[in-house]
Structure 1
Amino acid sequence: MKRGKSGFTLFEVIITLTIIGVLFAATAPLLRSAIESYFLARDMSDELMQINIAMERMTREIRGSEIHSVEGNTALSVYTEAGLVCFVSEGGRIYRGENASASDCFGHINSVPLTSSILSHGELFGYFDFGSDCGDLVISSDPTDANVVTLAIQASTYSNPFRTAVYVQLEANSCFE
């Protein structure tokens, strides 16, 4: 019998498609994990950028200023060269307000968000004084008279918080003379 037609038989096409399907099924989980890793890295990078910008802004304005008022560990108001400025951590965001006390910052009076909703807990500020030898930090008994304000920002995609310490009220501190 003579074959006059060239091409693939139905059996060859089915075998080829089956092999391609098996290869795709075997590599699909690898491709999926690579795509998920990319999106996680992108989200982490975005959160890191927001945190760096917020930390730099707060550090710049709090450094050397005088504390006006505090509301626990989540809100702080300071006197700066530009006037009264407040920061508050609420609803997973950090807000910055102008001409507002720490308690008014909670009402978002004259305030704008510095970050999107990326924070995993509300504690933001810690208040400390220098010990008698000007070396060790001790928890301040009066936060409005603290010499050091610590910032701790915990993002939702990072396991460890970002931390920094800012010196405040320099002229009233004997450790800086």
Structure 2
Amino acid sequence: MIELFNIYWIFFKIGLFTIGGGLAAIPLLQNEALTRGWVTKARFADMIAVSQSTPGPIGINLATYVGFNEMGIVGSIVATIGMVTPSIIIICAIAKFLKHFNENKIVRGVFLGLRPAVTGLIASAAFSIALIAIFNIDMFKLTGNIIDLFNLKAVALFVIFMYATNKWKYHPIFYIIIGGLAGLLIL
């Protein structure tokens, strides 16, 4: 029971301090999951890939996945509820004062000031994912060979998909499915 409350509280705090959507939650989720030993860096990268390619917000999907990883279905439910509780509380409080809230100069200023912070959190998440997916720092440390620093298959897929998404404007789901299949077959 204490473990369930602990999971709820951890995800409640993440949900409370995540402003800007699920991508902004990735650094907080990564910090908690790695420091608590819930997952490895590689496993976390896989969780991000699965969470990004399944329906729903990535932060909620990650919370559900981590909760399930730790305590099964009950853990996934508790983690998800913990993640969304702050948003529900805040939305209910704001809804009461919504008309005046949007017109308040201070509130507009706060949200304007939060944009760079959210951008920074998303950039941090992208950098963390790139470090895990594209670079193989552990192998480089073992061999000292510069070519071992890069996961060449992942780099090749990255370049191919960057080219393809810029050249052909297919629906993102098409690229998610193709990328998932390519990852399963190649990596």
Q: Return the structure number with greater strand share.
A: 1
Q: Return the structure number with greater helix share.
A: 2
Question: The TM-score by the shorter chain falls in which range?
Answer: under 0.3
Bigger Rg, structure 1 or 2: 1
TM-score normalised by the chain length of structure 2? 0.23
